[in-house]
């Protein structure tokens, strides 16, 4: 039976990510520096005081949750509520100011900005992306055709042998998602990738996310598309101003969020 709050299966609730009172603060240097002379800067260094130009953005405030194997967890909330920041921290790309994040295995973050080499062909990027995710050359060769077919890049011609700079933003995002989805992940985090593809690609992606869950991974999905969240996730975290407002079954949380945003 599933736990009504977390959605975890009672038979084998294996934790994959534990966030314990996590705070994340960005420090922005150089904004609105005011007194900008070299002498003033030197004085600040000598006195070890932060400059007037250092601004702090407290993006995530005391967030705690435990994610379990087999769950697909949606992250929702208005613009700037801290969703991407939280995922980056879980991926180990941002340090926590306070609190701790424990993960089982290496989480992979797939964002629409994931690095690809624009001057290289799609083909070469599949190779590089696969290697960057820890696949062997042999594994990539085996899965190459599956990745290209899944992305749908070649549906309208032989685009995979053209440089990535010739792709539309949707095509590039589809290829990135397809490379990441070709591997079985302990923890896969997807930031808005589904919003970029067309509806038929979104459906394929959603089906693949369901498969990844079955293969015992945990999937996190950041999206402003409530339909994608409903179709893919069994649990949702709702963030607002960096705080976790609600954590529970998808239907309950999305309904509360829609009620709030409809006002």
Residues that bind ligand ATP (CB under 6 A): 26, 28, 57, 59, 77, 79-85
Give the Å distances, CA to CA, from 87 to 37, 119, 192. Answer: 38, 28, 12
Nearer to ligand ATP, 70 or 82 (CB): 82
With tokens 């990441």, the residue in question is 180
Residue with tokens 């529970």, as numbered in its chain? 248
Q: How far is the CB of 92 from ligand ATP (least distance, A)?
A: 16
Identify the bridge partners of residue 142 per DSSP, sorted by sequence position.
none
Contact predicate 71/14, CB 8 Å: no
Q: Which is nearer to ligand ATP, 26 or 102 (CB)?
A: 26
Give least dist CB 240 to ligand ATP, A: 9
Q: How far is CA 110 from the centre of its chain?
A: 5
Q: How far is the CB of 126 from ligand ATP (least distance, A)?
A: 27
Give the residue with the Cβ less far from ligand ATP, 113 or 166: 113
Nearest approach in angstroms of CB 242 to ligand ATP is 7
Residue 235: CB partners within 8 Å, gap ≥ 6? Answer: 6, 7, 71, 72, 73, 74, 247, 248, 249, 250
CB of 118 to ligand ATP, least distance (A): 22
In this structure, are residues 155 and 204 in contact, taking their beta carbons and an 8 Å threshold?
no
Least spacing, CB of residue 90 vs ligand ATP, in Å? 12
Under 8 Å between Cβ of 149 and 201: no
Closer CB to ligand ATP, 11 or 79, in the complex: 79
Pair 190, 143: CB distance under 8 Å: no
Tokens linked to 149: 């077919």
Asked whether the beta carbons of 131 and 149 are under 8 A apart, the reply is no
Nearer to ligand ATP, 58 or 255 (CB): 58
Q: Closer CB to ligand ATP, residue 83 or residue 185?
A: 83
> What is the DSSP code (8-state) at residue 38?
H
Q: How far is the CB of 85 from ligand ATP (least distance, A)?
A: 3
Q: How far apart are CA 226 and CA 258, in angstroms?
A: 9
Query: By C-beta, is 154 or 225 nearer to ligand ATP?
Result: 225
């Amino acid at each position: 039976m599933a736990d009504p709050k977390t959605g975890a299966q009672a038979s084998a609730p294996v934790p994959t990510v534990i966030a314990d009172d996590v705070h994340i603060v960005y420090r922005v240097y150089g904004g609105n520096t005011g007194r900008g002379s070299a002498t003033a800067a030197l004085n600040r260094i000598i006195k070890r005081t932060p400059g007037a130009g250092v601004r702090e953005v407290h993006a995530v405030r005391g967030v705690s949750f435990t994610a379990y194997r087999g769950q697909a967890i949606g992250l929702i909330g208005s613009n700037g509520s801290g969703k991407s920041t939280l995922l980056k921290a879980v991926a180990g790309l941002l340090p926590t100011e306070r609190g701790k994040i424990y993960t089982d295995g290496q989480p992979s973050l797939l964002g629409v900005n994931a690095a690809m080499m624009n001057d290289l062909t799609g083909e070469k990027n599949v190779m590089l992306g696969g290697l960057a995710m820890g696949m062997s050359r042999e594994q990539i060769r085996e899965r190459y055709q599956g990745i290209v077919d899944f992305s749908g890049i070649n549906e309208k011609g032989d685009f995979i042998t053209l440089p990535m700079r010739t792709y539309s933003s949707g095509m590039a995002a589809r290829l990135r998602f397809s490379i990441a989805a070709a591997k079985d992940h302990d923890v896969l985090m997807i930031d808005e990738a589904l919003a970029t593809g067309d509806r038929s690609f979104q459906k394929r992606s959603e089906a693949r996310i369901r498969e990844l869950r079955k293969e015992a991974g945990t999937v996190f999905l950041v999206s402003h598309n409530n339909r994608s969240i409903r179709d893919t996730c069994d649990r949702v975290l709702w963030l607002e101003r960096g705080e976790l407002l609600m954590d529970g079954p998808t239907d309950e949380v999305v309904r509360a969020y829609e009620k709030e945003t409809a006002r």
